[in-house]
Amino acid sequence: MFTGIIETLGIIKEIKRENDNLNVTVSSLITKELKIDQSVAHNGVCLTVVAINEEEYTVTAIKETIEKTNLGDWSVGDLLNLERAMKLGDRLDGHIVQGHVDQIGICKSIEEANGSWYYTFEYDSKFNNITIEKGSITVNGVSLTVVNSKENEFSVAIIPYTYDHTNFKNFKIGTKINLEFDVVGKYVARLYALRQ
C-alpha cells in the first residue's frame, strides 16, 4: 500500500527484455535504503526490487503489467516518480493507493494559472472507472484531487512543489500516464452495479 506522496525521482538507466518481461534498472537517492523483494511504486506501478548494485536497483515487470500501464513506453533517461510502501502507523498524507494501475490516460491539455498548473487527462470510459468532483485520483503515482470531473476526463491542479518534485514537469499534450482510481470509489461503483 502507498499514499501517493512521491518520495523522490529516479532515472531509468537500462531496460532489458527477457521473454515477455522487462527488467528496468533505476538510479535513485533511495537505492541504498532498499532491499531485495521490497515493493516500490514507479509512476504508480508497484514493482518488486530484484537486484541492487550500488546506486542502481532493478525491478521486473511482467506482460500483464506492461499491457495495463505505460511501462512499455518507458525509455532510458526517463524520470520516474518513486514511492516506497507506507509504514503502518505513519500519517496517510495522500490517500490509499494500491500501486495497481487501472488504465492509461492521455494528457489532453496543460494550462498555466499564475503560479500553478491545470492538467486535463482523458481516459477510456469502457473500463467503468469514474472520478468525482473533489475525489481522489492517482496520476503516475501522485495522489491528487479531481477538479472538473466528466465521464471520460478530469483535471487536477498542480502546485509548484508537486511540479518541481515529480515528473509532471515533463508532461506534454499526448503524454500517456498511469491512472489508479480511488479504491473506495471502485468498490462503491461495483456494489452499485451488482444491485441493479
pTM: 0.89
Asked whether residue 21 falls in the same domain as residue 67, the answer is: yes
Is residue 94, in this structure, part of any structural domain at all? no
- 76 and 107, same domain (yes or no): no
Does residue 2 belong to any structural domain of this protein? no
Same domain, 190 and 111: yes
Residue-wise pLDDT tens digits, 104-163 = 999 999 999 999 999 999 999 898 898 999 999 999 999 999 999 998 999 999 999 999
Provide the residue range defining the domain that includes 160: 103-195
Q: How confident is the model at residue 1 (pLDDT cuts 50, 70, 90)?
A: confident
Whether 54 maps to a domain, the answer reads: yes
160 lies in the same domain as 79: no
What's the CATH code of the domain at 20? 2.40.30.20
Question: Could you tell me if 176 and 113 lie in one domain?
Answer: yes
Domain boundary among 54, 84, 114: 84
pLDDT at position 146, please? 96
pLDDT digit string (tens) for 46-92? 999 999 999 999 999 999 999 999 999 999 999 999 999 988 777 76
Average pLDDT for the chain: 93
Q: Is the domain of 130 the same as that of 60?
A: no
Q: Are residues 44 and 128 in the same domain?
A: no
Confidence band of 29 (pLDDT split at 50, 70, 90): very high
The tens digit of pLDDT for each residue in 155-181 reads: 999 999 999 999 999 999 999 999 999
Domain count, the chain: 2
- Separation of alpha carbons 24 and 119, rounded Å: 28
Query: Considering the domain boundaries, does residue 80 fall inside one?
Result: yes
Q: Does 172 fall in a domain? A: yes
| Region for 20 from its dihedrals, namely left if φ exceeds 0, alpha if ψ lies in -120 to 50, beta otherwise | alpha
